[in-house]
């Protein structure tokens, strides 16, 4: 009887358990537990998959950790082994630098990154130390089949040294340095830039541009043309804001150089006056300086000072990367550059920079009027041109010229210091003149923010939005809620 009662009792428990499983509470609870378990398993699988692919999104304003399209093109052309040595102590690697270098390695199997402890590998350091002064920690050594180059740690950043006690990092230059060095160690070529002297120019050497130019894999030399022609190895010639005119002999030598497919960069403002021989060189290629000083009255296109113009960019390849990446250029006391009616049909020219329609060119420098006067030229004013002309009978060879109406492009701008966009414009002009398009877009990633540029309409829209529309909307919604609750 006891066994029978126990059996009956077990059956009742089983029946009750089965019946309990049929209740809505248990069914819904089971569905919820099953759904939760499935979700957890799904997240675990997704996490494992994502770890394999390591997808990352660069949300920084200037895409600090992304490779440009031009760098990707350079990487496609590297067919020989390249080794990048990062001189870091274990555990003290620069995360930002290494993250960019890892992208190079991921894009080309011929590139290898090796982290080296300089304290434990003195022999390796000595092999690449040309100056015998040592190579500092944090530097990079890049070696390819055509040679090697050391990139000091300080060159991986753009630094404002105006305050030597507290220097300011203004840009991130890893991609620019590494891509330029890859071009050098895989090709071994370094074009020569000649900086014209003898006319009270502001020499690029005095502007601390020699190391900047050489970091971009150019060779910098100074040149006087009083007694000799432009050297055969000249990649291009730079004339930076001369205070005196060229001699007729210098004019003729430069024209002869250009007629053979030479390359020329001219930067000058009102301080150059009316240089007859220099203007004759430019007139031979259809352009001339429009003497005066540009006054920018639109506050969205100046820094707060109407003589400091933030110009608009064209779509030319010299300035297109600056336009796409919203990198501003600031020209102080700039003059205009204009085209001439009479020029050869074979000459191609394209404007680079323009002021706004609210600007004007102050022709009479003795006029202190704060507004447009009868002698002024109404804007927009063109501030620079890129010119090229094919050489007849020599297929694929052409003359190239860049003319900028700014003689102080590379000089500090008051409290703003050195403007990164100005350096980028200068270097882009050099690389375009040398027909090196793969280098144009690879510039430093600026960390400086200039004043926001808003049009008059945008100022009105944002003013109404924050002072009227949003407050009124909040008040109206609150009033509606209060009225509804009052009648409950």
pLDDT tens sequence across 362-394: 999 988 888 889 899 998 999 999 999 999 888
- My answer on whether 126 and 15 are in the same domain is no
Range of the domain at 463: 454-488
Through-space distance between the first and last CA atoms of the chain, rounded to whole angstroms: 68
Report whether pLDDT(26) > 60: no
Answer with the one of 189, 206, 237 that is the final residue of a domain: 189
Q: How confident is the model at residue 63 (pLDDT cuts 50, 70, 90)?
A: low
Query: Where do we find the tokens 């990487």?
Result: 75
Of 67, 211, 172, 167, residue with least CA distance to 448: 172
Higher pLDDT among residues 237 and 24, named by residue: 237
Q: Is residue 472 part of a domain?
A: yes
In a domain, 167, yes or no: yes
Check residue 363 and give its pLDDT: 92
Per-residue confidence (pLDDT) for residue 446, from 0 to 100: 52
Q: What whole-number distance in Å separates Cα of residue 177 and Cα of residue 172?
A: 10
Tell me the torsion sign for CA atoms 412, 215, 232, 205: positive
The model's pLDDT over 266-309, given as tens digits with 9 standing for 90+, comes to 999 999 988 999 999 999 999 999 999 999 999 989 998 999 99
Structural domain count of the chain: 4
488: in domain: yes
Taking CA atoms, 57 is separated from 60, 66, 327, in Å, by 9, 9, 21
Q: What is the mean pLDDT of residues 445-450?
A: 50
- On whether the CB atoms of residues 239 and 266 are closer than 8 A, the answer is yes
Residue 174 makes CB contacts below 8 A (sequence gap 6+) with 96, 97, 100, 101, 156
Place of tokens 């779509």: 315
Helix (H, G, I), strand (E, B) or coil at 471: helix
Q: Percent of the chain at pLDDT above 90?
A: 37
| Percent share of the chain, pLDDT over 70 | 82
Are both 184 and 201 inside the same structural domain? no
Q: How far is 297 from 256, CA to CA, in rounded Å?
A: 42
* Residues across the chain: 488
Q: In this predicted structure, what is the pLDDT of residue 56?
A: 55
Alpha carbons 368 and 63: distance in angstroms, whole number: 44
Together in a domain, 200 and 100: no
Q: Please, what is the Cα angle at 175 between 174 and 176, to 5 degrees?
A: 95
Q: Is residue 58 part of a domain?
A: no
Residue 329 pLDDT > 90:
yes
Domain match, 262 and 355 both: yes
Average pLDDT, the chain: 83
Which of the listed residues 145, 160, 189 is the one where a domain comes to its end?
Answer: 189
For residue 174, tell me if it sits in a domain: yes
- Side-chain half-sphere exposure of 178, counting CA atoms within 13 A: 31
Q: Are residues 361 and 316 in the same domain?
A: yes
One domain, residues 118 and 222 = no
Instruction: Find all residues with CB under 8 Å of 310, minimum gap 6, and list them.
Output: 296, 300, 301, 302, 303, 328, 329, 330, 450, 453
pLDDT of residue 147: 86
pLDDT in tens, 112-139: 999 989 888 888 888 888 877 888 888 9
pLDDT digits (tens, 9 = 90+) for 408-429: 999 888 767 778 889 889 989 9
- How much is the pLDDT for 348? 95
* Positive or negative torsion for Cα 26, 29, 35, 40: negative
Six-digit token pair at 250? 């210098």
User: Mean pLDDT throughout 436-455?
Assistant: 55
Kindly tell me if the per-residue pLDDT of 471 is higher than 70.
Answer: yes
Q: Which pair of structure tokens corresponds to residue 458?
A: 């945008």
Domain boundary among 119, 154, 189: 189
Instruction: Please name which of 218, 273, 280 lies closest in space to residue 253, comparing C-alpha atoms.
Output: 280
Beta strands in 212-278 (DSSP E): 219-223, 234-240, 263-267
User: Contacts from 186-190 at CB under 8 Å and sequence distance 24+?
Assistant: 186/77, 186/78, 186/80, 186/82, 186/144, 186/145, 186/146, 187/146, 188/146, 188/147, 190/217, 190/218, 190/219
Q: What does the pLDDT read at residue 384?
A: 95
Per-residue confidence band for 227, with pLDDT thresholds at 50, 70 and 90: confident
Residues 150 and 281 in one domain: no
417 with 464, same domain: the answer is no
| CATH value at residue 412 | 3.40.50.880
pLDDT higher than threshold 70 for residue 167: no
**Same-domain status, 184 and 274:** no
């Amino acid at each position: 009887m006891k066994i029978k009662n126990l059996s009956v009792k077990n059956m009742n428990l089983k029946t009750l358990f089965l019946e309990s499983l049929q209740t809505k509470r248990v069914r819904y609870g089971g569905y919820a537990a099953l759904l939760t378990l499935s979700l957890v398993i799904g997240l675990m699988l997704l996490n494992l998959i994502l770890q394999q692919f390591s997808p990352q999104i660069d949300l920084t304003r200037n895409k600090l950790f992304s490779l440009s399209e031009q760098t990707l093109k350079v990487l496609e052309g590297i067919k020989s082994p390249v080794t990048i040595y990062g001189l870091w102590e274990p555990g003290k690697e620069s995360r930002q630098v290494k993250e960019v270098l890892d992208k190079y390695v991921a894009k080309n199997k011929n590139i290898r990154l090796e982290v080296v402890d300089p304290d434990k590998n003195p022999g390796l350091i000595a092999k690449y130390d040309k100056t015998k002064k040592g190579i500092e920690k944090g530097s990079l050594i890049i070696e390819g089949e055509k040679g090697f180059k050391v990139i000091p740690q300080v060159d991986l950043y753009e630094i404002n040294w105006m305050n030597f006690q507290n220097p300011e990092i203004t840009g991130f230059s890893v991609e620019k340095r590494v891509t330029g060095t890859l071009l050098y160690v895989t090709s071994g070529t370094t074009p020569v830039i000649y900086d014209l002297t003898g006319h009270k120019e502001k020499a690029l050497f005095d502007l601390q541009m020699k190391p900047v130019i050489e970091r971009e894999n150019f060779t910098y030399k100074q040149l006087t043309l009083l007694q000799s022609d432009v050297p055969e190895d000249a990649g291009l010639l730079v004339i930076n804001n001369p205070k005196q005119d060229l001699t007729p002999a210098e004019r003729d030598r430069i024209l002869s150089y250009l007629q053979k497919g030479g390359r020329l960069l001219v930067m000058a403002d009102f301080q150059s006056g009316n240089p007859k021989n220099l203007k004759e060189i430019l007139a031979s290629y259809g352009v001339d300086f429009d003497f005066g000083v540009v006054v920018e009255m639109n506050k969205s296109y100046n820094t707060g000072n109407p003589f400091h113009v933030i110009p608009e960019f064209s779509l030319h390849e010299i300035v297109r990367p600056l336009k796409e990446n919203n990198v501003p250029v600031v020209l102080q006391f700039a003059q205009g550059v204009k085209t001439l009616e009479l020029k050869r049909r074979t000459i191609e020219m394209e404007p680079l920079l323009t002021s706004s329609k609210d600007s004007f060119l102050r022709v009479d420098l003795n006029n202190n009027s704060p507004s447009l006067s009868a002698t002024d030229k109404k804007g927009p004013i063109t501030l620079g041109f890129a010119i090229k002309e094919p050489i007849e009978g020599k297929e694929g060879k052409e003359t190239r010229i860049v003319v900028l109406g700014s003689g102080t492009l590379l000089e500090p701008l008051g409290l703003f210091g050195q403007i990164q966009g100005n350096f980028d414009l200068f270097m882009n002009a050099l690389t375009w003149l040398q027909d090196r398009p793969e280098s144009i877009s690879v510039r430093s990633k600026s960390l400086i923010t200039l004043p926001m540029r808003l049009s008059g309409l945008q100022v009105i829209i944002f003013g109404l939005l924050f002072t009227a529309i949003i407050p009124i909307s909040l008040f109206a919604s609150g009033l509606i809620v209060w009225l509804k609750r009052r009648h409950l």
